[in-house]
């Protein structure tokens, strides 16, 4: 009897999976970003929703900590100094390396705001952002 119950349970679970009812197979995990970060003391994760007005720019800046994030809506011109610029759209992710100047993080739309989520991996005492002036540009 025990084996019959096991056998029918297996048949029913296989039938449910074939019909798309198996939640084990319906979860999709898509890798969006994988980067190596320098050894850093991360004692605090500060997550912020940020909204830029149409054509607004963050300005030339850097972070003393690793920052990663996700574009929720809008279109962004993103450029780490010394690298190619990228156009990011809703669903795209980004990484701002420690102490690398960010040349562009600009809303490209003249009509729509840019909304993104930034994840600051920090020690509790670290500043999140350092504004740089043009004299810092190389």
Candidate from 11-15, 54-58, 68-72, 118-122 with smallest mean pLDDT? 11-15
130 pLDDT higher than 80:
yes
Which CA distances in Å does 17 have to 29, 65, 119, 132? 18, 44, 36, 55
Instruction: Give CA 111 to chain center in angstroms.
Output: 24
Q: Taking Cα atoms as reference points, which of 49, 62, 58 lies closest to residue 107?
A: 58
Band (137; pLDDT cuts 50, 70, 90) = low
- Percentages helix, strand, coil for the chain (3-state, rounded to 5) are 15, 35, 45
Please tell me the predicted confidence (pLDDT) of residue 82: 95
Q: Look up the pTM and report it.
A: 0.76
The structural domains of the chain, with segments of one domain joined by +, span 1-30, 41-136
Sequence-ordered list of residues with C-beta below 8 angstroms from that of 77, at least 6 positions apart, any chain: 85, 86, 87, 88, 104, 105, 106, 108
Q: Can you tell me the mean pLDDT for 99-108?
A: 97
Architecture of domain 41-136: Sandwich (2.60)
Please tell me the predicted confidence (pLDDT) of residue 42: 86
pLDDT digits (tens, 9 = 90+) for 13-64: 555 455 555 666 789 999 999 988 878 788 899 999 999 999 999 999 999 9
């Amino acid at each position: 009897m025990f084996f019959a119950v096991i056998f029918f349970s297996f048949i029913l679970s296989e039938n449910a999976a074939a019909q798309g009812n198996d939640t084990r197979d319906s979860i999709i995990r898509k890798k969006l970003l994988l980067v190596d970060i320098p050894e850093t003391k991360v004692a605090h994760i500060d997550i912020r929703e940020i909204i830029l007005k149409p054509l607004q720019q963050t300005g030339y800046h850097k972070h003393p900590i690793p920052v990663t994030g996700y574009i929720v809506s809008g279109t962004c011109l993103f450029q780490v100094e010394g690298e190619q610029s990228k156009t990011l759209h809703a669903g795209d992710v980004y990484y701002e390396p420690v102490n690398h100047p960010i040349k562009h993080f600009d809303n490209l739309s003249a009509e729509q705001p840019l909304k993104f989520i930034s994840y600051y991996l920090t020690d509790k005492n670290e500043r999140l952002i350092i504004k740089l002036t043009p004299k810092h540009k190389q």
